[in-house]
Structure 1
Amino acid sequence: MSADTSDLTKVDSAVSGLSSSPTDTKPAAKGARKSSSYPGVFNINDLEKEGTKIEIAPETQKLNWKLNASVNEVDDPTVLKKHLTTPPLKKIDLHFPLGLEVSARNLKGVTIKDALDAIHKQFKKKADDELDLPYLKGFEWDPEESWTRLKVHQAREGAPVSSKKSKKKGGDE
């Protein structure tokens, strides 16, 4: 069995020779991750303590996106990579008028795509006729109601479809 012990010692010495030694990982709290602190990305609770206001990307009001449709079906997919808020947040709760709440998370900063993915996860199995307000109209941040979440606004109809993707003719007005 001494051969087994020497093998373990070799493995341990190889591990301790790496740049991150085992002593670095010990003090981390339960559930904490080292990679969670990207520069310029904030925790919403910290911003609330500091009184820092957040702004929502104005592009979210022009998405013309149906809640039960794939995120890839937005009119302008280039906006999906933009941060949902300024300053960027690690996590934000999205609150629907009837009480449903979903969370969008991204340690590098929640993007518009992250928010839409979180919403889509809740609505992807719903049929069109099951949704009274199937289109995303936009988000609203009301610090007086809740500092740590965004209200989701929905619409009965999407914006008129642009000419390059015109699927229906005159039926959306």
Structure 2
Amino acid sequence: MKYKNFLIRLFDLILVLGLLAGYQAVIYSRDKEATIAELKSQVNQLQGEKEDILEAAKNSGKLGADGASAGQAGTYKDGTYTGSSQGFGGEIKVKVTVSGEKISAIDIIEASGEDEAYLSMAKDIVKTILDKQTTDVDTISGATYSSTGIKNAVGQALEGAAK
């Protein structure tokens, strides 16, 4: 048999390559498991730190029992305040009315550079701000820049209303 030595060496080579591939797969799997365990540990540590910070803030009076900023709701001077901020298409100006130490109305007085479709969707943030009595609300999906502009303009107006 003329090719006997060749076939034996070929079989040995395939066997060694297979063992190396299997070893690499095991090492790769162990590395991934170690990385996952390390990341889980970091997440748990950060969650613990977050809870400690929130608890400390609640105890110091900076946060209400529901986690909302104590300085946000019910601590405004009555009056009418204006604010402005950059939206998607330009500057957005708002008028915020405070009555009974609460935000009672938010009117968009100018948003001439805004796309009407985005602005109409972004106006939904006004109701959310009024309901929660804070600007710490999520922006409107699909009109992120315009709703962020409204939210920031209201925040700027409320800076003048803060007690």
The TM-score range, normalised by the shorter chain, is under 0.3
What is the TM-score with the length of structure 1 in the denominator?
0.25
- Structure ranking higher in helix proportion: 2
Which of 1 and 2 has greater Rg? 2
